[in-house]
Structure 1
Amino acid sequence: MSGPGVFSVLALSLCLLTVPAVAQRNASSAASATQWAPTRLGEPLLRDPLWIYNDWSAYDELSDNIPLTEALAMKELDQIIRLRKLGVHFDYYMMDAFWFAPDGGYRTWRTPNWPNGPDRWIAECRANGILPGLWFGTNELVKIEAAPQWRDSLTAKGGSMSFYEGGFLPDFMKAMQYWYDHGIRMFKFDFVDFGAATLAAEKTQTPKEIYSRNAAAFRDALKAFRQKNSDVVLVAFNGFGGDVESTAGPFPFHNSVDLRWLEVFDSLYSGDPRPSDVPETNFWRSMDIYSDHMVRRYEQSFLPLERIDSTGFMIGNTGTICYRKTNAWKGMLLLMVARGGWVNTIHGNLEFLDDEKAKWFAKVQKIYAGLQAVGRTKTFGGIPGDVQPYGFGSLDSDGAVYTVVNPGQSVQEIEMPLLSRVQKPLRGGRMIFRDAGFLPVVSGNRIMLGPGQMAAAGFGQYAASEFDLGVQEDVRIPRTIAPIDASFSDQGSNTIAATIEPPAKGDLRIIFQQRWRDGSIMRSWPGGPPNGKTVGTVLKIVAEQAGKVLPIEINYDKQVWSGLSWGAGEIKHGDFVAGPPITVRCSSAEKDAVKLEGHLYAVSY
């Protein structure tokens, strides 16, 4: 066929084919104007708050003997789907440590725990709108053997590999790309060793040069990886700066945080949950204080709060979390979101959150969804590890939530400052969450807290009853507390003792702290779980009256993988009598000479 008629038919046909395509493009453009499209934003990293599920503490192969298996991992995925129906939201599922075969160079999965590999887990995650992630031990050989292509990067001791020598780094990045191509979208880097060098390098380079060259090589490799895979999320854990062992550690950090890591990582973590060096009769509150303290220290090291992962929420029945289960979980969750981090990581056994707990969880998520994404969070008050009242305030255009903690052994008032010059003066605030017992009092921009208490106050729209989060019943704060004038004397053999008249009212609270002879904090570590001893076998409290040993309620006698520097307990008023004096002894079974400090209080609930 030829001629004008044929041309007209062809032109009409093309128009009919083109119109739907144009309409489709227009519809796509309209949708893009209303839908969340992170790739359209200029910010290259962490464009919005994320919620990550991590299965560590549901299993534990470091301080316990609970292995990671496919059955466990899939069970937790089923729990994510259950929780979603109750309003809980997750973006990612991080498969934590030791999924890999020891001889597989991070490319194969461990058998028999994963007999068919990860394909089912990856597929079901993605089918349910969850992006999968993987943990890597970076350049340390933690339960993995050096692959043949890594061996020319090994240190003399054979425990880690240099990033800038030999074949390790190129092959490691190939493994990252392999898993990205198989659907992995989040990568966690742990146990990094920037002091690793071959024997040849150790002979010619200083430790500072080795560290600098390792860090630069790995950072450049991650930059290239991000440029190729722009939707990837990278998170940094142990080894990337900071001193996380203790709240009594040095500051500024001895191991400084190089802010250039913010060029490649979406977040840096601030330490695994552990007890702080602030004694609390509720052990779990001391753990809250640890995470609060470390976030403050990383913030003081010039990291934005949004980029700090406090890693502060873990539930489970494993040694890594001192067999916590769900004890004091509400305060733990509320503090995690209140700290302002945009990487909100939930660890452990999701099946421990029944439907009622899940609804409370979802309510907290809903409250902070806007506060994190379009609001701001700022810290205020003192430093947690220095036993000063402190808090985290989050505000948006509709109001603010202030979450506050009093770590001390006295009733304290703390000011809730304005978080911005454009924020309205604080009026009409209302308590929306508190521990049981002591009733915090909100007055204008000030709040009164009991000893060791946390609470949250809402202002503006957040003062409405719909934002009530209730009372944390498993953390009880005394309604009154008064110090007892007690003179502890050195009894030798790392023991101190004091004799007092019995309190006329209330229970007897006993607190003691262990230090080295130079006054610095000393942690006792009688062996971690599951086979170690509990810290109560080393740090002991004994009380006697008229030759009778009195029962003491204690919460710290646990297997603690990080060690502990204190003891705390209470003797109920009904367990002692008026008249005969009470003698309290605090002791340490440490072989080295230590310094012990004791304090006594009368408390009423």
Structure 2
Amino acid sequence: MKPGATQAVVRRIAAMVCGWLAAASLAAVLISNSAAQNEPPKVSGGPLNPLPGLGEPLARDPIFVYNNWSAYDELSDNVLLTEQLAMKELDEILRLRRLGVRIDYYTIDAFWFDPDGSYRTWRKPSWPNGPDAWIRKCRENGILPGLWFSTNTLVKINAAPEWRESLNENKGAMSFSEGGFLPNFMETLQYWYDRGIRIYKFDFVDFGAATPETARTNSPAEIRARNEEAFRDALQKFRQQNPDVVLVAFNGFGGDVESTAGPFPFHNVVDLRWLEVFDSMYSGDPRPSDVPEMNFWRSVDIYSDHMVRRYQQSFLPLERVDSTGFMLGNTGTIYYRKTHAWKGALILMMARGGWVNTIYGSLEFLTDDDARWFAKAQSLYRELLATGRSKTFGGIPGEVQPYGFGSLDSDGAVYAVVNPAQSVEEIQMARLSREQPAVSGGRILFRDAGFMPILSGDPIKLGPGQMALVGFGKYASAKYDLGVQEDVRIPQSITQVAAKFTGEGNVIRAEVTAPAKGDLRIVMQQRSAKDGSVMRSWKGGPPNGTNMGKVFVIKAWQAGKPLPVEIDYDKVIWSGLSWAVGEIRHGTLKAGDPVQVECTSTGEEVRLEGKVYAVVY
């Protein structure tokens, strides 16, 4: 992509773009008569609207959307979307619903389409009979189906004849304000609406696209403004014609989502006029933040928390931000997470206050007991989101300050709190409204394993890297207890160990004394050798990317013998990484004797920082 997509997206698709553009230069074909005869039937009987009579304008009520991306992955992995996979996940949705989970929509994500079908026909042999059975089964069960579009960029799709006069010079994207692309694209959206589609996901948009002549005679700012106005006007008309649609915006509609260490305000400004047509705007795919954590998934939580705060600071209401922070799966896009630390991720997704809550990936990894827990957590927040308010408090997540999200209604409040620091920290759970009673008499409803948070009125003390959920008023009751997240373990204590790291560039070393009790935690942060800013290393995604455990290497020795170092970042990370954390267990150390520590980053010249802590679990 060009200016509309983030650099991270560029890295994910760069290896594929050459092939797509070569294909795009070939003559695309119109939909054949036989395909037209087999097109999905139009839906009769009017719209299936789950929100009749609710107030205007957009985002009328909180919704829960299932999206099957990360159950498959054709960007960072080679797991293909098929009809069998899509129908299997639909069966899983129905299983979860029987166990109490609410799911309102089901979106088929990227690459469902035939490359030569101009978004009208489905890819064969993956969908030999097209989408009819999927659409029908969704609607028979009260689930509203949705589709993904790469908007005006040619991502695994070739330019239809109607689009060619809109192509830019490299034939990778179409102008919205010139030629026949936009009218044809809007006709396609209506085509799918008439066949039952009710949620549309727009991704990888490029508002810098222009025909060669326009690119020579107009400034980039003029081109962008014309494209944005044309697309926004078209979506407004589409909404007026189809008032029950849900439209969601993803990559390219504003915001800098690559890193939590980037400058703010955003370089790619979020134009608030998009809120006139979109129900939600996303704030970045799950990825590690630039905050080092022993538990990799907690750093991923912090990324989503940070980006939601930045979009809020860009004047988007929390209700209109889709954090996209809850994703299950055994694919490269979610770093083969499966269900690691999924409970905290689910709570935080809802705590952030968004009204479009998207559940991604492989639902089959959730057991029936997991689904019952999911339903209980969802029922707590569903009411708060619909009838109350959600607000932020505390520091900025990416600046390693304790922070939280509070939700309240007339009966009480629930606070999700996180301490991203390598220290025990206290945070005050501020009143969220002048109408709210004093914050006291709370109950810890959920926490990570290990350190027991200390709750005393409105302050709460959290261990390093810890998350907790606290209820007040009506919600300070055992009926809302959600238990302990056993796969995130927080130390009972942490103390920084004196360590003077020396070295140059890509290798730093220090000697420390093994603690009398507890383990050694080693934290490395990577910075640019040029300007000292936090810097990520990108070594590709699956299947050919390099495991970050081989890029960032932490080693240690005692008495000349190597010590085992446990790490959790040993993953192929398409989005890059700027840190490493490892721990040496006490049982392998001789207390009081020196330990030699070495941290290395392979590749280009960088500047490394290191710290060492004694942690007791």
TM-score scaled by structure 1?
Answer: 0.93
Aligned-residue offset at 1:590:
1.8
Aligned position for 2:298 = 285
Distance 1:447 1:58 in 2: 37
| Letter aligned with residue 314 of structure 2 | S
Q: Is the 8 A contact 2:505 2:607 kept in 1?
A: no
Distance 1:164 1:72 in 2: 37
Q: Which runs of 5+ in 2 are unaligned?
A: 1-48
| Letter aligned with residue 533 of structure 2 | S
Aligned position for 1:595 = 607
The C-alpha deviation readout for 1:28-72, integer Å capped at 9, x for no partner, is: xxxxxxxx9845344121110000000000000000000000000
Aligned position for 2:515 = 503
Aligned-residue offset at 1:493:
5.2
Aligned position for 2:498 = 485
Aligned position for 2:566 = 553
Aligned position for 2:524 = 512
| Letter aligned with residue 127 of structure 1 | E
Aligned-residue offset at 1:578:
2.6
SS at match of 2:475: helix
Aligned position for 2:506 = 494
Aligned-residue offset at 1:580:
3.1
Aligned position for 1:371 = 384
Distance 1:381 1:580 in 2: 40
Aligned position for 1:581 = 594
Q: Is the 8 A contact 2:566 2:582 kept in 1?
A: yes
| Letter aligned with residue 604 of structure 1 | V
| Letter aligned with residue 519 of structure 1 | G
The C-alpha deviation readout for 1:459-507, integer Å capped at 9, x for no partner, is: 01111100000000000000000000110011x3510000011111100
Aligned-residue offset at 1:527:
1.7
Aligned position for 1:297 = 310
| Letter aligned with residue 515 of structure 1 | R
Alignment coverage as a number of residue pairs: 568
Aligned position for 1:91 = 104
Aligned position for 1:19 = none
Q: Is the 8 A contact 2:517 2:591 kept in 1?
A: no
* Mapping 1:125-164, distance limit 5 Å: 125-164=138-177
SS at match of 1:255: coil
Aligned position for 1:18 = none
- Please state if 1:448 is matched with 2:461: yes
Aligned position for 1:359 = 372
SS at match of 1:40: coil
Distance 2:444 2:505 in 1: 48
Distance 2:266 2:554 in 1: 34
Aligned position for 1:429 = 442
Distance 2:427 2:316 in 1: 25
The C-alpha deviation readout for 1:76-97, integer Å capped at 9, x for no partner, is: 0001111111001110000100
The C-alpha deviation readout for 1:121-140, integer Å capped at 9, x for no partner, is: 00000000000000000000
Aligned position for 2:38 = none
Aligned position for 2:287 = 274
- Please state if 1:317 is matched with 2:330: yes
SS at match of 1:462: coil
* Mapping 1:191-270, distance limit 5 Å: 191-270=204-283
Identity %: 70
The C-alpha deviation readout for 1:311-365, integer Å capped at 9, x for no partner, is: 0000000000000000000000000000000001000011111100000000011
| Letter aligned with residue 248 of structure 1 | A
SS at match of 1:408: coil
Q: Is the 8 A contact 2:415 2:469 kept in 1?
A: yes
1:408 alignment partner, one of 400, 403, 421: 421
Aligned position for 2:24 = none
Aligned position for 1:167 = 180
Aligned-residue offset at 1:521:
1.1
The C-alpha deviation readout for 1:364-398, integer Å capped at 9, x for no partner, is: 11101110000000000000000000000000111
Aligned position for 2:542 = 529
| Letter aligned with residue 525 of structure 2 | Q
The C-alpha deviation readout for 1:270-290, integer Å capped at 9, x for no partner, is: 000000000000000000000
Aligned position for 1:472 = 485
1:340 alignment partner, one of 353, 363, 373: 353
SS at match of 2:430: coil
Aligned-residue offset at 1:579:
4.1
Aligned position for 1:385 = 398
SS at match of 1:509: strand
- Please state if 1:120 is matched with 2:126: no
- Please state if 1:306 is matched with 2:314: no
Aligned-residue offset at 1:203:
1.2
Q: Is the 8 A contact 2:555 2:597 kept in 1?
A: yes
Q: Which runs of 5+ in 1 are unaligned?
A: 1-35
1:76 alignment partner, one of 83, 89, 96: 89
| Letter aligned with residue 576 of structure 2 | G
| Letter aligned with residue 515 of structure 2 | P
The C-alpha deviation readout for 1:294-314, integer Å capped at 9, x for no partner, is: 000000000000000000000
The C-alpha deviation readout for 1:256-282, integer Å capped at 9, x for no partner, is: 000000000000000000000000000
TM-score scaled by structure 2?
Answer: 0.91
Distance 2:244 2:453 in 1: 45
Q: Is the 8 A contact 2:265 2:314 kept in 1?
A: yes
The C-alpha deviation readout for 1:18-37, integer Å capped at 9, x for no partner, is: xxxxxxxxxxxxxxxxxx98
SS at match of 1:164: coil
| Letter aligned with residue 596 of structure 1 | L
Report which structure shows greater RCO (CA 8 Å, sep ≥6): 2
| Letter aligned with residue 308 of structure 1 | V
SS at match of 1:372: helix
Aligned position for 1:394 = 407
Change (3 A) 1:42 1:461: closer
| Structure with larger Rg | 1
* Mapping 1:51-62, distance limit 5 Å: 51-62=64-75
Aligned-residue offset at 1:526:
1.6
Q: CA RMSD in A?
A: 0.9
Q: Is the 8 A contact 2:505 2:606 kept in 1?
A: no
SS at match of 1:474: strand
